[in-house]
Amino acid sequence: MSIFKGAGVAIITPFTLEGAVDYPAFAKIIETQISGGTDAIIVCGTTGEASTLTHDEHIDCIRFCVEQVKGRIPVIAGTGSNCTETAIYLSQEAQKAGVDGVLLVSPYYNKATQNGLYAHFKAVADSISLPVILYNIPGRTGVMIQPSTIVRLAEDVENIVAVKEATGDISQAATLMSMAKGKIDVYSGNDDQIVPILSLGGSGVISVLSNVAPGYTHDICQSYFDGDVKRSAKLQLDAIPLIKALFSEVNPIPVKAAMHMLGYCENTLRMPLTPMEEAHEAVLKAEMEKMGLL
């Protein structure tokens, strides 16, 4: 069932100083992720600043990523929208580009009912033949996809196969997995909850941390899968201060700063996002140094 197992990177979209997509930097980042052991690339998600990409840029970034990866690992495209027709359009274009699956965030701002969420996700999934990962992040969207709705979708729609669980509520995740009885894969959407989700039967993580530490994040998952739970937990816990620094401001502000520190790209964000505050950046730099990344 799984599109991938392990650590998928929610990859940034690098921009030039002028604000255009920096494709040479993007290629370098993709290659570093693959050589570093990342198990999948999730392009044009929240971390990729999809909400401020034009539709043409969005599709071009997806196409570029697929062409750069060349089938070496799965590529999953963020194609969600608060407009069902737009989500259908982006998903169909992503399928044409050759992705291995799509990630659909719940409609934001509209605050659809559970019936509305069901209808939305079913309509998008039915418009393509790709595997679909639902993205449950009520802190950004203002609405929770309830476990019963997720299970209903998994039972009724063949290509809805997984969920990115980013509620931050382990009880919510446990309830979902109890109700689903293995009918849907669950990926942690929070880097500080990788091991807890794996312990409930999760398939991995869709990770911000992987941008700066792809091998490390892969190893958290792989150690768990290999039965070395103690090592997996230690890796998880040792990374908590860095993870906290990576979320000290709204994602992807800190990870963009971190990738700039590592020399991968300019520290350019699209408004309304603005560069990281100096005090937070100093903490982030210190934590990266402690982890041996700088």
135 assigned to active site: yes
DSSP 207-237: ESGGGT-HHHHHHHHHHHHTT-HHHHHHHHH
End-to-end alpha-carbon separation of the chain, Å? Answer: 38
Per the residue annotation, which of 23, 89, 122, 164 is the catalytic one?
164
Per the residue annotation, which of 135, 187, 216, 264 is the catalytic one?
135
Per-residue burial over 196-234, b if 16 or more Cβ lie within 10 Å, else e, is bbbeeebbbbbbbbbbbbbebbbbbbbbbeeeeeeebbe
Find all residues with CB under 8 Å of 169, minimum gap 6, and list them.
Answer: none
* Rounded CA separation 278/86 (Å): 37
Q: Are the C-beta atoms of residues 217 and 205 closer than 8 Å to each other? A: yes
Token couple for 230: 């103690």
164 assigned to active site: yes
Token couple for 190: 């929070």
| DSSP secondary structure letter of residue 177 | H
* Rounded CA separation 275/55 (Å): 24
φ, ψ (nearest 5 deg) of residue 16: -75, 170
Give the amino acid at 63: R
Other CB atoms within 10 Å distance of the CB of residue 148: 13
Report, as residue numbers or ranges, the catalytic residues. Answer: 135, 164
